[in-house]
Amino acid sequence: MNNRSVQYTVSRGLLFLITFLLFFFAAGCRTQEKQTALILYNENDPFIYTFARQLEDLTSDIPNYQLETIDSQNSQILQNEQIEEMAAKGRDLLIINPVDRLGSYSIVKKMKDQEMPIIFFNREPLIEDLKLWDKAYYVGARAEQSGQLQAELIMELFGNDPNQLNQYDRNGDNIIQVVILKGEQGHQDAEIRTVEVVRAFRDRGFELEILITEVANWNQVQAFEKMEQILKTFGGSMEVLLSNNDAMAIGALDRMRLEEVFSDTNGNDRIDPLDDDWLPVVGIDGLSEAVKEIEQGYLYGTVLNDSLTQAKAIVELSEYILEMRRLDGMSFEIIDDKYIWIDYKVFTLD
């Protein structure tokens, strides 16, 4: 072997070695990638759909953060199977939107056994269940706040003075006649929103007359149908329509347009609160259809479940968990080492 070919062999060997090491390094990096599963109760829920996309967008630029989105199709049994599968595959973190609040109990116990951290969102597990496992967290909005904000919107519209209501107190009796469209009977959020909106009025000294609390199961069509009878019975006396969510508010508005409740009395070519027979309707959630209704002047306002901020909180929390950092360093306040509460936002035309 001459000198040249020795050099050649050595350089080739070195090249091979470097490639080999690079390959291993790359493979090593891959295994360091954090695997997170996002398990949704039902992707057909528009709020959940938007929320999932926001989460995916936020995590897409984070290096070594792999997010897998799974839809439980509104079945706790399916969700359990999915969680079982994820536990078997070994994920670094599960972000779960439970189908059944009480189903979280078994999930928390199982995840504790697997030493897998969990972040719940959208449906709050019982606090006693959440406390079973140190690394179980909840990110969400306080349901009671949405009702309070709804009440504040209306109180502001009525002039903010419980003793002197303005022109929106149509019959001038200084009492606000309300119709409430309630979500699913027994549903935690429906109960809380209904109770809290009423409580907020009363706490501020406003007198309220609840004409009827109608259950429309969160559903636009049911609200549309039930509104027919409500308008017949209370059409003349109703001063405010409070809906537990936007979908039911839109259903009610559909019926009210059909019954020609609204008309452009001041002739400015649009429906707005200045029209004489205009009636305030408020929802909760901030759906894009609701925003459209607000822009057109039919819906007075909505309370926004701030999904983007929630998504940001979840992403930040998950990064802290995966990197094992102290949670009190986060930009979001963590309460009891378990909860991050995101405020609702009010959305009106102005």
Partner 1 sequence: MRNLSIGQNILIAILGIVFFMLLVTGVIFYTTFSQRTDTLVESQSREINKQIVLNYEGYINSVIETANYVQYASLNLDVNSAASELQNIYLINSEIKRDVVSIFLFDSHGVQILGDPVRDSRRDGIARESWFTSALAENSIFHFSTDNSQSISADNDEQVISVSRSVKYTDTADNKNGVILIELNFRTITDLAEKTNLGPDGHILILNDDDSLIYSSGNYDQLRSRESIQIAVQNYFGGFPAEIDNKVMHMNITPLSQTRWRIVTVNDVDEVAQAKRRMLLVLGLIFIVSGLVAAAAAVAISRRISSPMKLLRISMANIEKGDFYTKVSVSGQREVVHLAASFNSMIDTIRSLMEKIVEEQRDKRKTELRALQNQINPHFLYNTLDSIVWLAESNRTDDVITTVVALAKFFRISISRGETFIPAADELSHIRNYLTIQQIRYQEKFTYAFEIDDEINEYKVMKLILQPIVENAIYHGIGDEQEKITIRGYKENSLLIFEVENTGYGVTDERISEMYRILDGTHEVNSVGIRNVYQRLKLYYGAEGNIIITSKLDELTNIKLIIPIEVPVELPADKEIDV
Q: Which stretch binds partner 1 (CB under 8 A): 82-90, 262-270, 278-286, 299-307?
A: 82-90
Find the shortest distance in angstroms from Cβ 39 to partner 1.
Answer: 14
Buried b (16+ CB within 10 A) or exposed e, 2-27: eeeeeeeeeeeeeeeeeeeeeeeeee
Q: Write the DSSP symbol of residue 1.
A: -
Among 11, 64, 166, 188, binds partner 1 (CB under 8 A): 188
What CA–CA distance (Å, rounded) separates 241 from 210?
A: 10
C-alpha neighbours within 13 Å on the C-beta side of residue 343: 7
2's CB contacts (< 8 A; 6+ apart) are none
Q: Which is nearer to partner 1, 81 or 225 (CB)?
A: 81
DSSP 83-126: HHHHHHH--SEEEE--SSGGGHHHHHHHHHHHT--EEEESSPPP
Find the shortest distance in angstroms from Cβ 56 to partner 1.
Answer: 27
- The separation between the first and the last C-alpha atoms of the chain, rounded to the nearest angstrom, is 86
C-alpha neighbours within 13 Å on the C-beta side of residue 33: 19
Report if residue 109 touches partner 1, rule: CB under 8 A: yes
Helix, strand, coil: what percent of the chain each, to 5? Answer: 45, 20, 35
Q: Which is nearer to partner 1, 99 or 304 (CB)?
A: 99
What CA–CA distance (Å, rounded) separates 40 from 49?
A: 9
Q: Which stretch binds partner 1 (CB under 8 A): 42-50, 80-88, 235-243, 341-349?
A: 80-88
Q: Which stretch binds partner 1 (CB under 8 A): 12-20, 76-84, 293-301, 340-348?
A: 76-84
Q: Which stretch binds partner 1 (CB under 8 A): 2-10, 89-97, 153-161, 189-197?
A: 189-197
- Three-class SS of residue 135? coil
Report if residue 196 touches partner 1, rule: CB under 8 A: no
Q: Which is nearer to partner 1, 130 or 304 (CB)?
A: 130
Report if residue 73 touches partner 1, rule: CB under 8 A: no
Q: Which is nearer to partner 1, 176 or 317 (CB)?
A: 176
Report if residue 345 touches partner 1, rule: CB under 8 A: no
Q: Which stretch binds partner 1 (CB under 8 A): 47-55, 100-108, 278-286, 311-319?
A: 100-108
Q: Write the DSSP symbol of residue 328.
A: G
Report if residue 215 touches partner 1, rule: CB under 8 A: yes
Binding site for partner 1 (CB under 8 A): 76-77, 80-81, 83-84, 87, 99-103, 105-107, 109-110, 113, 126, 128-129, 185-186, 188, 191-192, 195, 213, 215
